[in-house]
Structure 1
Amino acid sequence: MGTPRYIKIHNEIQSRIEKGYWQVGQRIPAERELAQEFMVSRMTLRQALQTLVDEGILERRIGAGTFVAQRRIQDKMSGITSFTELTRRQGKVPSSQTVSYLVTEPSLSEAEKLELAENQKILRMERIRFADDEPICFEVAALPFDMVADYRQSQVTTSLYQTLADDGLRIGRAQQTVSATVASERIAELLKVKRGSAILMLRQVTTLKDGRPFEYVRTHYAGDRFEFYLEK
């Protein structure tokens, strides 16, 4: 299966930013103009831009447009990175709903974060995560396909960390970045919140004990249902 059109647009825009075509803080062209340039629908173009926003490469400013994002201040967090285990420790029942599950080409960001070799494919899955049947977050996870190719879909989507542990693979470190944003129309529908509601965005790269990155995930948390705490 070929690379989705929105990923190709994502890669081209990211490449332009990295080459300095658009500078940090600069407004990029309007959606209509970019859709015409790439000869795609506004919906496809919007999906590419939203992915770049989710990755912290672009940022939306209400009433002003879309801009190349400033580098945000970061702080370390420590704690459980498995949603399943975290939910259970809160005395709630975790569950998930798979929105999409696709073996495909990685975006530039996914290839970089996962340290993939050329032509190496990924498994990209989208899930809604629930606690006691209440939607808590929506996540887009990219995994090196050759690392999970032998697992059943249910093993990956239900609790990936437990599946890896059962296979003798130990989880190492997680590098996390948290930022604030607002719910797009799609995220609002998936999490059953109002469009424009406060959303916490977590970007995380998780490695095994041997240092191999095995997961790059972008997670949207409903702001009124989840909170992070810092431990120093």
Structure 2
Amino acid sequence: MPLVNNVTASQKARLHLLNLIVSLPQGSRLKGERELAQDCKVARMTIRRAIDLLIEEQKLERRPGSGTFITYTPITHEFRLKSFKTDLAGSLYQLLRERYGIRIINANTSLAASIPSPEIADQLKIQKNKACLELTMIDLDQNGRIIMLAECVYVGDQYKFNLSPNRDNLEIDIREKDVS
């Protein structure tokens, strides 16, 4: 039974570009729009719009006559799962593996402080310049395809991020702060 793919062309283009952003070093030059569109199997204008949005988010920079470059430079503290196999057992990942033959071999998670776009600030009902936490998770399968992308925005002063590494696994917990 094949997985249903409800991803729009613009979402597909954004996912493709985000995958490049997290997998290539800061300062890397992206391929030209035509080649990116062919790789992603979308129209050139769709790739261009996705690039424009990522430029607005300061993840990419267009340099006239030179191309488009990765400018996203978060401060990163790398941590690894000690037991990737154990951590993924009994979950959506097990279903993907058993029913569809899809194995997640790479899971990238990044957390960054950010100022949300006006649209997101409106959705969160917060001031336009209020600090937030942006959590991005990308899971890749055995063929390097993006299987899951989650972009979450948390209001900075309303959530607490806990990281509890131990020898056997890594537990990440994001909870709303107790304001009482």
Normalising by structure 1, report the TM-score. 0.34
TM-score w.r.t. the length of structure 2 is 0.42
